[in-house]
Chain A
């Protein structure tokens, strides 16, 4: 991976043409994009759900996740996921 794209005040957004939705037939959240689909694991879904719901900084996103998951120490995991998701072109930074 190259240098990191996200910092505490960057705002992650779904990339153009990507849609996040629940798929009953797959029993999981998915990302849909032109002619493709990614099945998401629960952790990825928790992050992308919040990115999709509202525009907020990475710091705010992490704070929200900590509230939802009993103050778990998840900063590194979130940053790592964001970089990977960006590398896959699922999200962009604003």
Chain B
């Protein structure tokens, strides 16, 4: 599950930690419900997976509407509930939502920057039955963290990570890595060790939303990756049985695409702040979507009958080279959103795949990133930060 909050949202299968959700033999069930409670966020991460035009969404679902969504998804077999955003802590009803979700039997995951939280809030959430808090860091040092987050949050995050641990939660730290912070991976892991993290996710930036907009400035270089990977594996060995480290390889450097969402409409369901139901959190950008909304239809209707959720299910929609490929059941042709963003057709093979006739687009993107990285600092394009002002400017409203 890719990875989080205002940060990057995660999908089952994007980390080793989610392997238990690979229930391929079961009937399709929305096992993973990602509730993007709000687009409000105090951070401005330039790799955010929220849509560029998020500032256009004004009306969020009410408490009652969210609870209906939770209930309906739970009845269909959902076990994991991700509370994300934006920053979910900006929802005044967060404690109530967690209390009710926990009563329904969900395993509740709060995916947060920690900004807006204090030690009392952490304890209150625990009391409400929250199972897990994932705190995201932008980097291991104050300066870089704050630069990337576009705010002065680092010290507070450290405090909150400690409060999470002190309240008896498993501590899961998430670092979204990219060109600007990946060379600090050893410092990042040392920080995690000093905070006594139970799990660390080194999630590579995935290029959707704001991250796509900033791709030239975020794509890591090959030598950066090789170094980072070697360090991550060394720490994995050293920390075995102590701290679990998930290291996700960036797909732009792979020859085969990721099994995105474990297959379209297979286990994963996202509900956006305004109630739109999506098979993945980036799918709103695809052309031809009907964008069913929980205010008009039940989760059952949306999951089983809607055009959107059936559109790329199974294998019939595939074109060549996927259609006749013996690996299609492994990766489902990769990511529909990436296929659309790069090739213009969401039914094309994900161009990450070296069998794709469009694979050169990935290589060109890497080359473009390399050219950008080799420019003198003063000539490099500035990162565009995720905030309402930039959202309005870029989306033109």
Contact = CB atoms under 8 A, between A and B. Distances in A.
Interface in B36-62: none
Interface string A22-48: 010110001111111111000000000
A8 interface: no
Contacts of B75: 25
A80 B372 CA distance: 55
B105 A21 contact: yes
A25 B76 contact: yes
Q: Which of A21, A25, A34, A35 gathers the greatest number of chain B CB atoms within 10 Å? A: A35
Nearest to A38: B20
Contacts of A36: 12, 17-21, 80
Contacts of B244: 89
Interface stretch (B164-172, B298-306, B359-367): B164-172
Contacts of B79: 23, 30, 32, 37
Size category of the B interface is 20 to 34
Interface stretch (B23-31, B141-149, B337-345, B385-393): B23-31
A90 to B, nearest CB: 10
A3 B20 CA distance: 26
Contact of B107 (A15, A33, A39, A89): A33
Interface string A62-94: 000000000000000000000000000100000
B132 A34 contact: yes
A81 B15 CA distance: 25
Q: Which 4 A-B pairs have the closest CB atoms?
A: A25-B77, A17-B170, A32-B107, A36-B20
Interface string B140-176: 0000000000000000000000000000111010000
Contact of A26 (B26, B80, B82, B172): B26
B131 A37 contact: no
Interface of A: 15-17, 19, 21, 23, 25-26, 30-39, 89
B83 to A, nearest CB: 12
Q: Which of A21, A25, A31, A38 gathers the greatest number of chain B CB atoms within 10 Å? A: A25
Given A16-B198, A17-B169, A30-B79, A35 B10 contact: yes
Contact of B132 (A15, A17, A21, A37): A17
A15 B82 CA distance: 21
A20 to B, nearest CB: 11
Contacts of A30: 79
B77 A34 contact: no
Nearest to A5: B241
Nearest to B1: A35
Given A17-B132, A25-B76, A36-B18, 12 more contacts: A16-B168, A16-B170, A19-B107, A25-B29, A31-B20, A32-B131, A34-B134, A34-B172, A35-B80, A36-B12, A36-B21, A36-B80
B199 interface: yes
B109 interface: yes
Contact of A37 (B10, B21, B169): B21
Given A26-B26, A89-B244, A34 B168 contact: no
A89 B170 CA distance: 12
Contacts of A16: 168-170, 198
Contact of A39 (B23, B82, B172): B23
A32 B132 CA distance: 11
A35 B131 contact: no
